[in-house]
Amino acid sequence: MSRFIPRHILSTIYTVDKQIQIQPDGNIQLDAEVEQRLQDVVRDLVKAVNISPVTKEVAHAG
């Protein structure tokens, strides 16, 4: 059961629809603040995955 205890608490990101614009070509444009927060959260997630002992177990099992 201890394998299911979270070892990392990651940040969350919330946004409202006015901070996201859909461009005519279908691409999405985020406000600068939202884009920076999203990059920070993704960077933290990548760090957490890279240092996770479970990730290392899975990598070596394959």
pLDDT digits (tens, 9 = 90+) for 16-48: 999 999 999 999 999 999 999 999 999 988 888
Q: Residue 15 burial (CB < 10 Å; 0-12/13-18/19+)? A: middle
Model confidence pTM above 0.85: no
Which structural domain, as residue segments, surrounds residue 32?
A: 2-61
Element (H, E) at 48: helix 32-51
CA gap 21, 51 in Å, rounded: 35
Q: Residue 44 burial (CB < 10 Å; 0-12/13-18/19+)? A: middle
Q: How many domains does the chain have?
A: 1
CA gap 61, 46 in Å, rounded: 20
